[in-house]
Each structure stands twice: as C-alpha cells, then as structure tokens.
Structure 1
Amino acid sequence: MSTPPFNTVAWFQVGSDEPERVKEFYGSLFGWNFAADPDEDGTYDLVTYPGSDMPAGGIAHTDDPSGNHAIFYVLVADVPAVLAAAEQAGGKVDQQPVTAKNGLVFAKILDTSGNAFGVFSPPPAN
C-alpha cells in the first residue's frame, strides 16, 4: 500500500445520522464499497473504490442531522505546524489535534472564507 504525497487531499469523510441510507446512495451512484473500520466501535465505515483495496474515505455515524457533513482531509507531515501556518495565513483552528488509537493525528481548520477542512498525519511506522 503506497502513501499519497504530503500536502494532497488524501481522505474524505461523510457524516450521516442515516449511515445505511447514505452508503446505499453512494454505493449505487458510484459503486463504492463499505466495511466497518476495525479500529472503531461500529461508528465508522471505511470506503473503498471499485478495483481498489485501499480505503479512500469514511462514513462517520452521527447522532442526529445536525452532525451531518462532508469534508476532505489533506495529508501533512506535521499537524501542529500546519495549524500554526493556517492561523498565520488568516485561517482558524476549528478542532485541535486528536490522536487516534493507531497514532494517526488529525485536526480541522477553517479557511479564510470559513470553509472547514481537515489535516492529518499518518500513524508512526511500525
């Protein structure tokens, strides 16, 4: 499995309070495949594209419609450094860094127009 280059959009997430319905929508529209994320407790599904074994995104199960969303994530080498650079460029940190069980670090930023996007760094190599 190859890692995408840094500073590229490398992940997306769709949040839905009706995850089965949204999976049916994207599955029928684009042929996407879904599998439960083994690192989560049934609240996240991984998305793979037809012909690919590598997940490209996820479906987050939200509690109610107010949490529904679609967002892209940029792969970066250093999440805290990118957050500082974003603030210096006029953006705002929307979510401070969070470290997942596997060591992946992610955060959310608002650009200068208030659009939300995420940044993440991969888990440490084993």
Structure 2
Amino acid sequence: MAGEPSFFELGVADPERGRDFYGALFDWDLQPGPSGRGFTIGTAGVPGGLHGGDAGASPYLFFRVDDLDAAVAKVLELGGTTEELGGEDADSEARFGRFKLCRDDQGSAFGLHQPPEGH
C-alpha cells in the first residue's frame, strides 16, 4: 500500500558507536550494510538503517511508493524538492529498493521508498 512508513534511517557521527548504543537500547540486530559503511537494522516492525558521517541528524522516515519516479515528479509538481542520497549501488537497490530524500513545500524533510520487486 502506498503512503505507509516502510523504512527509517538514523544518521550518526560514528556508526560503530551508533550500533553499540541503539543495539543495547532497543535490542536491535544490526548487521553490516551492503556498502560496508553502515548497518541494517532488524526490528519486529519497519526495517531500518544506520549510517555514519551525519552528526546530529534527525531520523529519516521513508514512505512507500509504487513508482519512485512518478512520486518524485509529484513532489516537484507540488512545490517540493528532492536531494541525492549518494552511495547507492546495484546490490543495495536489489536488497532494499530505491530511495529519495525530499522536502515538502515548507522545507520539512521526508523520504520516498520503492521496495525491491516482490516486497
């Protein structure tokens, strides 16, 4: 179903420290991510990720869409903006799908997520 929360991302300065902190706090299973620079977060609910080099970042909440390109076009049509994530590769896309960071027409951040085929 489009529009439901489907992924979250935590940005921290040091991903190893972030893994230790959030793993201990929530008993999450954090495994190395496909890029080798962060971790995937296994929860009983919405899956997530943790990346480094982003001190003081707010959590990103991604909303599911069926067609990322069409959703991005709609964001732009409605006066919003989009930003590149960087570090995306074919392995990551095959495992997790496609992502796009966005801002609404008032500057509030959110993300769009098109899950991989069959999910």
Q: TM-score, normalised by structure 2?
A: 0.77
Instruction: Write the letter of the residue equivalent to 1:16.
Output: V
Pick the structure with more helix per residue. Answer: 2
Q: Is the 8 A contact 2:82 2:101 kept in 1?
A: yes
Give the aligned partner of residue 113 of structure 1.
Answer: 106
Pick the structure with more strand per residue. Answer: 1
Q: Percent identity?
A: 25
Could you list the runs of 4 or more consecutive aligned residues of structure 1 that deviate by over 4 angstroms after TM superposition? 96-99
Instruction: Write the letter of the residue equivalent to 1:95.
Output: E
Instruction: Write the letter of the residue equivalent to 2:42.
Output: T
Paired residue for 1:26, among 22, 26, 47? Answer: 22
Q: TM-score, normalised by structure 1?
A: 0.73
Task: Point out the structure with max Rg over C-alpha.
Answer: 1
**Is 1:81 the equivalent of 2:70?**
yes
Instruction: Write the letter of the residue equivalent to 2:102.
Output: I
**Is 1:43 the equivalent of 2:34?**
no
Q: Is the 8 A contact 1:97 1:106 kept in 2?
A: no
Question: What is the aligned residue count?
Answer: 114
Structure 2 residues without counterparts, runs of 5 or longer: none
